[in-house]
Amino acid sequence: MNQLQEKIYKRFVRYVAVETTSDPESKSVPSTPSQISFAHTLAAEMPKVGFEQVEVDEYGIVTGLLPANTDAPAPTIGFFAHMDTVCDYNGADIHPVLHPNYDGGTLTVNAEKQMFLSPQNAPDLKLCIGDDIVTADGHSLLGGDDKIGIAVIMSLAEYLTQHPEIKHGPIKAAFTIDEETGSGIGYFDVERFGADFAYTVDGAVLGEIDCGNFNADGVTIRITGRSCHPGSAKDFMANPVRIAADIISSWPEDKLPETTDKEDGFILFKDITGGLEKAEIQGIVREHNLEKFEAFKKLLLAVVEEKRKKYPAAKIEVEYKEQYRNMRDILREQPQAMNLLEAALKENKVPYRLTQARGGTDGSQLSLRGLPTPNIFAGYENPHGPYEWLSLTWAEKAFHILKSIATNAVK
């Protein structure tokens, strides 16, 4: 690896050593105290790489300013990455494994567990021959989502501070909480941050740019039944477990995550709890097109209404909770962020494609709140599990894209 990649890598290893798993069931903000601890760790490091006005707010969000080093007019640009890791897989005791100069074959994640990566199960590895690849060790996720993004932003600030001959306008950095739960960015003060536009460094494959995303709600279905001894249940019992299963099985097969791709939407029923008195279904609703999104929600309500008639002794309630909305239209109406980004990609000879993310980023909520924020690649793949990996070459490319954006914005 070259010197820049080494700096990014060493930062990344330090950052993933701090466990910051978020908790979607928590009522606290942030959802886990470890995020606060990590926030203060980053805040202590930021002045050393050139940031001023570093703050950790009451919610644990870290912000700082890299001042302009020119009097030439320039917009204030924001760079975002999130501190938390997902709760879907173990995020503690992470030990990154470096695989230098990848030869295109099989990478051993954990020999004892027979865990391997290759172009057969990770096709994008074929794009990384000659790169230094980083994996987890089979006992945890890697944390590239999104601590490699933090490492890139911190390394960029250090580089620009050490090279004052490279002129740039004001750069704001924000390291945010609870991105994986979809709730943390709601506590971010966009007006106080003061950026004209921004970028989340939270994507995956080299050259993938998320300039649109799902509309997203969470859904909770609560079922209150009527219990009795099963021997005398005829015409009396209303079994919440059975009703929950009936609702899920009645949802159309062609509107599920495992049967859709590209811009097709879905409902994912991701959790069921309960027994003979009560049951609860947790799910998520996703669709790029807002009209189709609302139609999905109405269709689910129609399914539930049919079950109310089928099981009159039960009480069935449905609650939707807004998570985020598609940022596509905002970025079209305010194109400066995308114009600078596409110019930077071309300047650095990075082939790219503009994608509609099958998910959401902090940028989707920021865009809707007045801060246009597309999402660029950070260099990781297969997030949220033990087969997560990243390319240090891809991370370095992200660094150069951000540097070009910052310098080319100076007029």
Catalytic residues: 84, 179
User: CA–CA separation, 278 vs 205, rounded Å?
Assistant: 43
User: CA–CA separation, 110 vs 352, rounded Å?
Assistant: 33
Handedness of CA 8, 13, 17, 19 (dihedral sign): positive
Task: Mark out the alpha helices in 171-236 (DSSP H runs).
Answer: 190-193
User: CA–CA separation, 210 vs 103, rounded Å?
Assistant: 29
Closest CA to 322 of 178, 182, 184: 182
What secondary structure, in 3-state letters, does 33-74 show?
A: HHHHHHHHHHHHHHHHHCCEEEEECCCCCEEEEECCCCCCCC
User: CA–CA separation, 384 vs 84, rounded Å?
Assistant: 12
Burial class (CB in 10 A: 0-12, 13-18, 19+), 296: buried
